[in-house]
Structure 1
């Protein structure tokens, strides 16, 4: 049937799907979101570049530096579940503007901080303030874009994040003699204010929404008035249905072990592998990390270009991940076998092959109605950052324990990373097992709006 039956209930204006904006409006919206997300990624990674400065100027020990860097992730992660509810209730533009105001204050406080406690509190505020910089655009894309455009926009947002991580390395190093680290944070605060102005101008205003659950009740509990597929739980105002949803259960282990592990490796453990296992000098390792981040930027660019074509061919979301995920573990096994000979190029290849799991994030969003997209995306993002923390800390504990037991440093790294490899394999097998049990009839495979009409 092409439309609702005569006896179907009328959908309230607040629950009706929004008209999709034109190409120019979509480009402007994407660029405004990307501008803010660029600085979110830069702020996340910049402490690695500034660590020697903090150590020399503020006399911070390694543990204090780790605590300072981790304060960002603490503030960021603590906001994910409240953020999801806020996005669904008040809309992405309004929520992101409110959060960015906190980030501006946090950057200003960081620039003025005189001691470790002030720095940690300011860094915590920065993490809180940028917590919506990816979830808000993904929620907006779920409301305004087609399924193929959502996957493309998601990949290009991640590409923007890789660009921000690149900017946090050599470009920040070049700026420090001109601005100092305090001036750098004042500059970022000003640019975040500029991003708030761009968002106000370029992002469609948030529609007034009915009370949680009201729109879903009016539409039968499905996206855009469509009936929910058999076996899928009806939407509710809370998170319980999100965490029980079959699509979420299938990909959550991938989010924790594989997606979170990829971020953990890229942002921490590849560098120590290059220096302590490969014997590279710190300057060589920094250049190697630049290569890894550049490879990820290009990978996300390519994903955005090819995803619409893959969707038309029937390769979307979970189906593509389920077919391609073994390439990452195979490459990691090759790295462990090569040991000291595995350099930055090999790690860049592993990151690129593993990047297919990033498609799980929009796939989760598409498995839920728009009225629940914020909660679904934020809950999955929480899984990813739980994985980042667990892999970063867990590998460190494992390496230290093996070294204390008398293992050489190279062997300790290889054995600890082998345990991580096992976790990635189990997560991939979990996805494939549940897909096999479900018979492949998955809402996000491909998304309903991407299926060709007969």
Structure 2
């Protein structure tokens, strides 16, 4: 980070510490997000979970996460990212402890939802801070590197978790995560400067969100955020694991290794975006143009996976996840389409759409698998059917994005100019 110190309103050393402290908190939030995919065999064996129950347990995190996005956005604009993040991380500590103590499926699900509430600010608080303090190009780079940090957390949720299981067990793992969050709180409290609320928040919160949800740029990305972005996270954090074990016949160890490889590829991709985005923008590219050109790749990969069945192993799902990172450019694009006084609300509202999609798709795909198996389909065919439904939705969301392309820029400029 020092080698490419960003041009910001903060000194370079302070900007670096701000980024690192936020990244230190985002790392365990991503780890806990993806860990159910690795622990799925252990949970299924210990609790005898069906596919829909497993999807509900994994999705409870995203339900709690999504439920907090609108109040979170208002809090970020009113009180600032540092104070808000510290409060939410305290909830994450409580949630991890509750998960470690849980002794039933219901208790695990409630505790995982509480963890989702607690970590719901771990990305939006940094993005709001970056929007206020970083130039647009530096903001895109910092956002990409935050997502790279998330990929590092997802990497840690695969083979490293598998290696730690004999030493800590899954309960000990969650106690360790609680400690990690406490350390992150100390780091943020000491390293991040006090919040500067230079722009007064809108007097009526609902009005602010009404403006967000009516904005043409927001509407253009809404279906893609729900289905494509949400679908990528739903597969990466859960359903790729069961596909590899139930469809491809891989062992838990092989599956953890496959997920590890996918997440390493994601980390390298987000790192590359951090370096490439400023250069691409300097050459006249925009987030809209990059997404329009890049999004057919993951959609085709998803359809190929559906057709390949047991032959669709980790390399293909890695291609799907890596190429889906084009849609991550939509987050800073939405943030930049709004004035700074609405940035927290705009980013959180879009995050609500993404994680509502993750929760819905994680649960719905498990329910579809159970229903199709109950109707007499084979396990392989049931998974193909569930993934095909996602592919249809992703395809339609991309068509919507293309269809809405003319409306956005003029209105976006009018809103930003206010």
TM-score (normalizing by structure 1):
0.82
Query: Is this contact kept in 1: 2:228–2:397, CA < 8 A?
Result: yes
Secondary structure at the residue paired with 2:406? helix
**Residues 213, 437 of structure 1: CA spacing in aligned structure 2 closer, same or farther, 3 A cutoff?**
closer
Superposed CA deviations along residues 117-176 of structure 1, whole A, max 9, x for unmatched, are: 544443332221111001000100000111111111111111111111111222223223
* 1:178 correspondence with 2:156: no
Secondary structure at the residue paired with 2:404? helix
* 1:265 correspondence with 2:205: no
Matches for 1:113-128 after TM superposition, within 5 Å: 113-128=102-117
Q: CA deviation at 1:369?
A: 0.8
Aligned partner (choices 64, 84, 87) of residue 73 of structure 2: 84
Secondary structure at the residue paired with 1:239? helix
Q: CA deviation at 1:291?
A: 1.3
Alignment size in residue pairs: 407
Q: CA deviation at 1:199?
A: 0.9
**Residues 71, 264 of structure 1: CA spacing in aligned structure 2 closer, same or farther, 3 A cutoff?**
closer
Matches for 1:229-244 after TM superposition, within 5 Å: 237-244=207-214
Aligned partner (choices 358, 365, 389) of residue 328 of structure 2: 358
**Residues 39, 433 of structure 1: CA spacing in aligned structure 2 closer, same or farther, 3 A cutoff?**
same
* 1:33 correspondence with 2:22: yes
C-alpha distance in structure 2 between counterparts of 1:418 and 1:360, whole Å: 24
Q: CA deviation at 1:425?
A: 1.6
Q: CA deviation at 1:332?
A: 2.1
C-alpha distance in structure 1 between counterparts of 2:197 and 2:314, whole Å: 49
* 1:292 correspondence with 2:279: no
Superposed CA deviations along residues 5-36 of structure 1, whole A, max 9, x for unmatched, are: xxxxxxxxxxxxx9711222221111100100
Aligned partner (choices 49, 54, 67) of residue 62 of structure 1: 49
* 1:201 correspondence with 2:190: yes
For 1:305, the equivalent position in structure 2 comes to 275
Q: CA deviation at 1:418?
A: 2.5
* 1:132 correspondence with 2:121: yes
Secondary structure at the residue paired with 2:208? coil
C-alpha distance in structure 1 between counterparts of 2:400 and 2:100, whole Å: 46
For 1:336, the equivalent position in structure 2 comes to 306
C-alpha distance in structure 2 between counterparts of 1:138 and 1:245, whole Å: 19
C-alpha distance in structure 2 between counterparts of 1:46 and 1:192, whole Å: 16
Q: CA deviation at 1:331?
A: 2.1
For 1:23, the equivalent position in structure 2 comes to 12
Secondary structure at the residue paired with 1:213? coil
**Residues 316, 405 of structure 1: CA spacing in aligned structure 2 closer, same or farther, 3 A cutoff?**
same
Superposed CA deviations along residues 246-296 of structure 1, whole A, max 9, x for unmatched, are: 110000111001000111111222223223333333332222121111111
Query: Is this contact kept in 2: 1:325–1:428, CA < 8 A?
Result: yes
Q: CA deviation at 1:348?
A: 0.7
For 2:353, the equivalent position in structure 1 comes to 383
**Residues 118, 336 of structure 1: CA spacing in aligned structure 2 closer, same or farther, 3 A cutoff?**
closer
**Residues 197, 154 of structure 1: CA spacing in aligned structure 2 closer, same or farther, 3 A cutoff?**
same
TM-score (normalizing by structure 2):
0.89
**Residues 71, 135 of structure 1: CA spacing in aligned structure 2 closer, same or farther, 3 A cutoff?**
same
Aligned partner (choices 364, 368, 374) of residue 394 of structure 1: 364
* 1:316 correspondence with 2:286: yes
* 1:99 correspondence with 2:88: yes
Between structures 1 and 2, the one with greater helix share: 2
Q: CA deviation at 1:184?
A: 2.7
Cα RMSD (Å): 2.6
Q: CA deviation at 1:396?
A: 2.7
Moved more, 291-300 or 405-414: 405-414
**Residues 177, 186 of structure 1: CA spacing in aligned structure 2 closer, same or farther, 3 A cutoff?**
same
C-alpha distance in structure 2 between counterparts of 1:97 and 1:308, whole Å: 31
**Residues 279, 53 of structure 1: CA spacing in aligned structure 2 closer, same or farther, 3 A cutoff?**
closer
Q: CA deviation at 1:315?
A: 1.2
C-alpha distance in structure 2 between counterparts of 1:72 and 1:417, whole Å: 21
Query: Is this contact kept in 2: 1:154–1:362, CA < 8 A?
Result: yes
Secondary structure at the residue paired with 1:206? coil
Superposed CA deviations along residues 23-73 of structure 1, whole A, max 9, x for unmatched, are: 2222111110010000111122223434555566xx523056554433322
* 1:429 correspondence with 2:368: no
* 1:141 correspondence with 2:130: yes
Query: Is this contact kept in 2: 1:212–1:236, CA < 8 A?
Result: no
For 2:4, the equivalent position in structure 1 comes to none
**Residues 32, 260 of structure 1: CA spacing in aligned structure 2 closer, same or farther, 3 A cutoff?**
same
C-alpha distance in structure 2 between counterparts of 1:322 and 1:151, whole Å: 18
